A and B are shown apart, each in its own frame.
Chain A
Amino acid sequence: MEKLLEIKNLQVEYYKHGQVIPAVRGVDLNIAPGEIVGVAGESGCGKSTVALSLMRLIPEKQGKITGGKILFENENILDMNDEEMRQVRGGKIGIVFQEAFSSLNPVFTIGDQIKEAIQLHNPDFSNKKSRTKTLEALQRVNIPNFEERYHAFPHQLSGGMQQRAMIAMSLSCNPQILIADEPTTALDVTIQAQILDLLLKVRKEMNMAILLITHNLAVVSQVADRVAIMYAGQIVEMASNEQLFSNPLHPYTVGLLNSVPDVNTQGKKLAQIAGQIPEPENLPKGCPFHPRCPDVMDKCKTLAPETLEWEKGHFVRCFKYSV
Chain B
Amino acid sequence: MWQRFSSNKLALSGMVVIAFLVIIAIFAPRVVTHDPTEQNIADYLQGPSAKHYLGTDDLGRDVFSRIVYGTRISLSVGFIAVGIAVFIGVFLGAFAGFYGGWIDSLIMRFVDIMFCFPTFFLILMIIAVLGPNIYNVMAVIGLTSWPGIARLVRGEILSVKEREFVYAAKAIGASDLRIIFRHILPNALAPVLVTATLGIADAILVESGLSFLGLGVQPPMASWGNILTTGKDYIEHAWWLTLFPGLAILITILSYNLVGEGIREVIDPKQ
Q: Which chain A residues have a beta carbon within 8 Å of chain B's beta carbons?
A: 55, 57, 61, 82, 86-91, 94-95, 97, 99, 102-108, 116-117, 120-121, 166, 169-170, 173
Contact = CB atoms under 8 A, between A and B. Distances in A.
Contacts of A94: 171-172
Most A CB contacts (10 A, CB to CB) among B164, B167, B172 go to B172
Report which residue of A87, A97, A105, A170 has the largest number of chain B beta carbons within 10 angstroms of its beta carbon.
Answer: A105
B173 A89 contact: yes
Most chain B beta-carbon neighbours within 10 Å: one of A99, A116, A170? A116
Contacts of B29: none
A62 to B, nearest CB: 10
B165 A106 contact: yes
User: What's the dominant secondary structure at chain B's contact region?
Assistant: helix
B187 A106 contact: yes
B173 A103 contact: no
B237 interface: no
B187 A90 contact: no
Interface residues of B, number: 18
Given A105-B183, A106-B187, A120 B165 contact: no
Nearest to A83: B175
Contacts, number: 64
Contacts of B165: 102-106
A247 to B, nearest CB: 36
B173 A120 contact: yes
B168 to A, nearest CB: 4
A239 B183 CA distance: 41
A89 B164 CA distance: 16
Secondary structure of the A contact surface, majority rule: mixed
Nearest to B172: A90
Contact of A90 (B100, B163, B173, B182): B173
Contacts of A108: 186
Interface string B52-86: 00000000000000000000000000000000000
B39 to A, nearest CB: 55
Interface in B155-192: 163-165, 167-175, 178, 182-183, 186-187
A97 B172 contact: no
Given A61-B100, A94-B172, 12 more contacts: A55-B171, A86-B175, A89-B170, A89-B171, A97-B168, A102-B165, A104-B165, A105-B169, A108-B186, A121-B173, A169-B168, A170-B171
Contacts of B174: 86, 116, 120
Contact of B164 (A61, A99, A117, A121): A99
Interface in B88-104: 100
Contacts of A88: 173
B171 A95 contact: yes
